Structure 1
């Protein structure tokens, strides 16, 4: 990433992607005169219920849903329970679902970073391609450092390579590593930086990034607090996710060498991405964090 020509090359690719998306979305015009038509039972032939506890019901059009989504189109052609009952339930963020339905019915664009990161996942799930393109374009043009890592996680999980690289670029170009004094460097270089990760429930882990600040070693501790003997741990790099494995529920310590990480996995970047993966009984947790040299 520190190679200026590589940065310029990828920035050009991202700009070409932005122009491509702008071309696809140029003819999408919001139907503002349809505000009185959306979510009106008189003009609806299907209902969408959203939420887990306090559900909200939206009155929608099968025709418009099927027109925009191949998933909905397939569903309406079958005898699924939802079709027979003339309603379906979506367990997702209410605002995200409403934004998806507004796009389907009125071409209303998503213009908020937090909302776009939620809606793009729904668009991917229900194969609403234009909505996914619109969210991707908005994020490419508006993602900032504060939300870049979360956005990268979403983009990587959906295979959105241009957006994923844009997030990495934002993180890199906005990061400045503080310099340590020479005498301090000598004292800390051989002392490992310790990263302890405790698995105690099947939930997303709250990882913060690490800055080695010139130290030569990183010690990652994976601890099993699940009370299960069939827990499997995996820890590794972007293209080597099974670098070290702990089976049978045991805790594990993995010592990484900074020079080896830089040589094998960082390439021209000033950081590596380390993945942590746990699996037991059909449940899994996958998370990652960045290590800056």
Structure 2
């Protein structure tokens, strides 16, 4: 992997410190530009192998970029000082498949048998889109990206199953084609879109009512473009019903010390 520039390393470290200090509690889209961001799932070891297989069965919505050792809250392959108990702006806590609370750290919930998974995130290709003059609307409007449940099934693994979640970014058709070309180079950040055009085809009824995140403006002549999303595991968790599971809140990611281009096909 390429050596991350010191200036960016300072940004990622400062952002994680602000998150630890509870000074930054919002979405991470557009922050620490150039650094890979990740979705997070933390499970008891009893469920870890099944979830690993779920990710392997569904590499587009669930592209693995890091897995911790059992009981280890560090993630050295993604950053020397990462602490999975503190470094996400908002955590969701699930018990028996139901989201029961959100919180700013999980230190008192951490168990010796927990395994942390980090999955690539579409926020990581937003930098490439912006550099190409295709700045995503959620960044322009300074809101969380729109996320929707679809009727696209995932491939089950043990107790984990459910439909795919997608993010949506609108573009005029010629820009949509360019966005497809750019994001195809980022398979570890969900890669090419799953769909563009009529949202009803993939089971989405109203683009103004995302299940997660915020609605964004769709201008005349634009079409919605849909990428697989790392919130997909949260639907599978509801079905698997582990006694406890901890995830990131949608749009509030782990910021790593890996360059987003490290995981791109150039």
Question: Does TM-score exceed 0.5, indicating one fold?
Answer: no
Q: TM-score, normalised by structure 2?
A: 0.25
Q: Which has the higher contact order (CA 8 A, sep 6+)?
A: 2
Choose 1 or 2 for highest CA Rg.
1
Could you say which structure has the higher helix fraction? Answer: 1
